[in-house]
Chain A
Amino acid sequence: GESVGLHLPTLSVQEGDNSIINCAYSNSASDYFIWYKQESGKGPQFIIDIRSNMDKRQGQRVTVLLNKTVKHLSLQIAATQPGDSAVYFCAAASSGNTPLVFGKGTRLSVIA
């Protein structure tokens, strides 16, 4: 089955800098990837998703990059703000109605 992992459990960045959070997945059949942000005491909040027919997708201040060759994806946050402090999860799934498989999360701390 699928397993999803993040490279770093914690990440500290200076306010205004760019943040990069990495994630690896194991199942080459995975074709849908999604990033969630979870603040303390709240449920995961959708940030951005990407399908396997793309290698890059941009949102507001966020970019997701997908490298299917090495089964790696990353979330880039531009001009990181204190409100970005949270735990970030990547999740993967394959078509055919398989459930999302989540990684363990990276805790992002923004230093003012």
Chain B
Amino acid sequence: GAGVSQTPSNKVTEKGKYVELRCDPISGHTALYWYRQSLGQGPEFLIYFQGTGAADDSGLPNDRFFAVRPEGSVSTLKIQRTERGDSAVYLCASSLVQGALETQYFGPGTRLLVL
């Protein structure tokens, strides 16, 4: 079946611009997670949703980052006033139900480059 999909696969933007990254979870998965992966590092947690609500946003680095999941399926990660340090791969994952003990399945990621 279809896995987690993310668009765009690559995004190049200029410092100070606004970007939106989209995630389509596996159908029927109620939990959705965003991670950020810098070069040579493991993924770092940003935020996760159970249904439409953000259950834990403790990983968001600052208020320039925001995510929504209005209908409990597709999610959008929004970054305002992008900085060069925001350049990374942004990964989305979903799991069947909420909970750290549920297997998370990852999408291919969006590679963001801020010039």
Report A112 CB to chain B, min CB distance, Å.
Answer: 25
In the complex, A101 has a CB within 8 A of chain B = yes
Contact A99-B91, Cβ < 8 Å, known A43-B109, A44-B106, A49-B103 = no
A side interface size, CB within 8 A? 28
Name B45's closest neighbour in chain A (CB-CB).
A99
| Secondary structure dominating the interface of B | loop
Name B9's closest neighbour in chain A (CB-CB).
A41
B side interface size, CB within 8 A? 26
In the complex, A59 has a CB within 8 A of chain B = no
A26 to B104, CA, bound (A): 21
Contact A46-B103, Cβ < 8 Å, known A97-B55, A105-B42 = yes
Interface contact A104-B98, CB-CB below 8 Å: no
Which of the residues A36, A44, A93 comes within 8 Å of B101, measured between beta carbons?
A: A93
Which of the residues A36, A42, A43, A93 comes within 8 Å of B100, measured between beta carbons?
A: A93
Indicate with 1 or 0, residue by residue over B84-113, a CB within 8 angstroms of chain A CB atoms: 000000010100001111011111110000
In the complex, B43 has a CB within 8 A of chain A = yes
Name B59's closest neighbour in chain A (CB-CB).
A99
In the complex, B44 has a CB within 8 A of chain A = yes
Which of the residues B56, B91, B100 comes within 8 Å of A32, measured between beta carbons?
A: B100
Interface contact A43-B107, CB-CB below 8 Å: yes
Collect the chain B residues with CB atoms within 8 Å of residue A96's CB: 100
Interface contact B100-A102, CB-CB below 8 Å: no
Interface contact B106-A98, CB-CB below 8 Å: no
